[in-house]
């Protein structure tokens, strides 16, 4: 679809930082673009200056977009398009009160994030990072029957906390490992026909039962007031001795200090983290542990996925300012209000 328009007719878009191709070029075809020259988080004062006069904003999780930022746009801001599935960096209530649409980019990163969750599952259970360090540091002298013994993944029990798109994708991959899958879901059990043939998926009405039975627990919940520190000292104490915790959702879902204590005590077999409570800072003691694999928020980090996310963010912003059908609205009540009774 040709979305380009004469430059003088184009609405103004402010980019908080550079976005991947082909989204970056698309943005310049359909908008008068300011910002986005560099790939690093934008200082708040520059955000407040740059957004002035903008019709649309494309931001990432690295920027906090609150009421003062929205007001700095000068009253013409119509859409905040977040290049992410999550949107806890945006004050959605403030946007709704001002009649500003908020959009996100769900679905497109499901497989990439599920793949990374599985990289962490296998990496922690089979001690991959420890083995890599051993070889690189010249400490690998010879094979031995007790060298870096890990735990079997095939046939184990996987606990999926949050059975949305990504949680289901992680669970589907477990079928190839002949795993029993326990899961929690706010809306209750999935319809029976949504599980793939041969899968062993079992709904757990409570988190405690899942934690006490799973060999590996993988977190896939959004961050809100009900999920902040969902996994704390009490919950870690319920997990099976020697089990593993994987988090590719949001950092504050886990009480990181409590996790460090559990790992130091040797109660857990290990943990694999792609997100952090106070990202990019780590809880004291976390980086020094051998039984944890730490990644720098790579869940959607494939060329294909990030490119599709960028295009989706631009298309949502363009649709909103042109009055077209807007996909993936976080606050659709704004659109209803704009259309009237």
Distance CA 190, CA 179 (A): 18
How many angstroms separate the Cα of 333 from the Cα of each of 86, 97, 222, 338? Answer: 19, 10, 21, 9
Question: By C-alpha distance, which of 52, 58, 63, 65 is closest to 24?
Answer: 58
Q: Do 132 and 146 belong together in one domain?
A: yes
Q: Do 142 and 94 belong together in one domain?
A: no
Q: Do 119 and 194 belong together in one domain?
A: yes
Q: Do 263 and 308 belong together in one domain?
A: no
Kindly state the DSSP code that residue 328 receives in the 8-state scheme: S
Domain assignment of residue 43, yes or no: yes
Residue count of the chain: 341
Question: What is the predicted pLDDT for the residue at 337?
Answer: 67
Question: What is the predicted pLDDT for the residue at 6?
Answer: 53
Q: For residue 147, what are the domain limits?
A: 110-294
Distance CA 177, CA 172 (A): 10
Question: What is the predicted pLDDT for the residue at 131?
Answer: 97
Distance CA 70, CA 331 (A): 15
Distance CA 69, CA 335 (A): 21
Can you read off the two tokens belonging to residue 78? 């119509």
Can you read off the two tokens belonging to residue 119? 């990289």
- 29, 172, 297, 322: which one is catalytic? 297
Kindly state the DSSP code that residue 63 receives in the 8-state scheme: S
Look up tokens 């949305």; give the residue: 164
Q: Do 137 and 211 belong together in one domain?
A: yes
Question: By C-alpha distance, which of 299, 330, 253 is closest to 110?
Answer: 299
Domain count, the chain: 2
Q: Give me Rg for the CA atoms of the chain.
A: 22
pLDDT of 48-76, one tens digit each? 999 999 999 999 999 999 999 999 999 99
Tell me the DSSP string of 185-201. -TT-SPPGGGSPTT-EE
Q: Do 104 and 114 belong together in one domain?
A: no
Question: What is the predicted pLDDT for the residue at 4?
Answer: 52
> Catalytic: 279?
yes
> Catalytic: 29?
no
Q: Do 259 and 241 belong together in one domain?
A: yes
- 10, 32, 165, 250: which one is catalytic? 250
> Catalytic: 250?
yes
Report residue 35: phi and psi, to 5°.
80, -175
Q: Do 94 and 152 belong together in one domain?
A: no
Question: What is the predicted pLDDT for the residue at 198?
Answer: 83
Q: Do 101 and 114 belong together in one domain?
A: no
pLDDT of 150-163, one tens digit each? 999 999 999 999 99
Quick check: pTM over 0.85?
yes
- 18, 151, 180, 279: which one is catalytic? 279
Residue ranges for the chain with pLDDT beneath 70 = 1-8, 337-341
């Amino acid at each position: 679809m040709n979305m380009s328009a004469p430059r003088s007719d184009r609405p103004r878009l402010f980019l908080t930082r550079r976005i991947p191709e082909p989204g970056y070029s698309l943005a310049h075809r359909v908008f008068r673009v300011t910002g986005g020259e560099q790939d690093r988080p934008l200082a708040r004062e520059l955000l407040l200056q740059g957004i002035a006069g903008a019709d649309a904003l494309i931001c990432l999780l690295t920027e906090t977009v609150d009421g003062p930022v929205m007001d700095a746009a000068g009253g013409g801001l119509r859409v905040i398009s977040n290049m992410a599935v999550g949107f806890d960096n945006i004050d959605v209530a403030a946007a709704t009160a001002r009649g500003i649409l908020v959009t996100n980019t769900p679905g497109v990163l499901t497989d990439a994030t599920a793949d990374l969750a599985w990289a962490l599952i296998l990496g922690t259970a089979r001690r991959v990072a420890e083995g890599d360090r051993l070889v690189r540091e010249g400490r690998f002298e010879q094979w031995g029957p007790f060298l870096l013994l890990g735990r079997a993944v095939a046939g184990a029990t996987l606990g999926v906390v949050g059975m949305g798109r990504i949680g289901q994708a992680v669970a589907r991959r477990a079928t190839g490992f002949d795993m029993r899958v326990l899961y929690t879901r706010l809306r209750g059990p999935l319809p029976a026909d949504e599980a793939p043939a041969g899968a062993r998926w079992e709904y757990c009405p409570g988190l405690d039962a899942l934690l006490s039975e799973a060999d590996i627990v993988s977190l896939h919940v959004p961050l809100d007031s009900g999920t902040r520190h969902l996994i704390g000292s009490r919950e870690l104490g319920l997990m099976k001795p020697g089990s593993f915790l994987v988090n590719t959702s949001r950092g504050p879902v886990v009480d990181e200090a409590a996790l460090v204590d559990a790992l130091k005590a040797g109660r857990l077999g290990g943990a694999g983290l792609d997100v952090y409570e106070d990202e990019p800072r780590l809880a004291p003691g976390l980086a020094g542990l051998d039984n944890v694999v730490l990644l720098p928020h790579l869940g959607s980090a494939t060329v294909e996925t990030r490119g599709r996310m960028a295009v989706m963010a631009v298309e949502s912003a363009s649709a909103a300012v042109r009055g077209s059908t807007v996909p993936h609205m976080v606050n659709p009540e704004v659109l209803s209000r704009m259309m009237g009774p």
